[in-house]
Amino acid sequence: MNLALFDLDNTLLACDSDYEWGQFLVTRGVLERDAYEAQNAAFYEQYKAGVLDIHAFLGFALRPLAEHAPEDLDRWHGEFMLARIRPAMGAPAKALVQRHLAAGDLCAVVTATNSFVTGPIAREFGVPHLVATEPERSAGRFTGRVAGMPCFREGKIVRVEAWLAGQGRRLQDFPQSTFYSDSHNDLPLLELVTHPTAVDPDAALAAEAARRGWPVISLR
């Protein structure tokens, strides 16, 4: 058995689900447009530039989960999937996932975006495992805080290793391990697998992939 890990935002998806979720809540009137849009855009630019303070961002991104009832969040997420996510799920990305599943590989989506937003998306792709940033819950509601380490940069390694350890496995146990990503923020995990693959990469990752001779593919 081999291991196949997929980044989600701008890799399998032709959008950033975290950013789009916030924008969707703005269009639904759940969040105030001017204040939220400006901050959401600023954090997204910081992420692309590689200077994002993940804890500051999560304090911002998880707050709407804490401010609304679970049933409202679930209803909005269903609408979000129809309006924003399914149109961003291209046939090449679905085919890539299916090739790995058909080969009997152990497959997981590994994403910095929180599991409330990304869980239904991973299921829609048919990926059986999700390694994501976990929002804290208490008494059936989100608290607005993070549970454990964010699944971001080096944190992706920690979280993947913990997920594998829960199955009695280690990364080095797999004859081949592949990680697909678009972002230079994922270099720590890309450097650890046997088959790092850049997918529609940002400029920094494209340059690094060229320098190291990593394969570059497009799912667009």
Beta bridge partners of 146: 135
Which of the residues 9, 16, 182, 202 is marked catalytic? 9
Q: Which of 140, 135, 110, 136 is nearest to 125 (CA)?
A: 110
The helix/strand/coil state of 67 is coil
Beta bridge partners of 138: 141
Confirm whether 72 is a catalytic residue. Answer: no
With vertex at residue 85, the alpha carbon angle to CA 140 and CA 161, rounded to the nearest 5 degrees, is 60
Print the SS3 string covering 14-70: CCCHHHHHHHHHHHCCCCCHHHHHHHHHHHHHHHHHCCCCHHHHHHHHCHHHHCCCH
> How far apart are alpha carbons 164 and 180 in whole angstroms?
18
Return the biggest CA–CA distance within the chain: 50
> How far apart are alpha carbons 20 and 15 in whole angstroms?
7
Long-range residue pairs from 136-140, CB within 8 A, at least 24 positions apart, any chain = 140/70
Whether 180 contacts 110, CB under 8 Å: no
Question: Which residues are known to be catalytic?
Answer: 7, 9
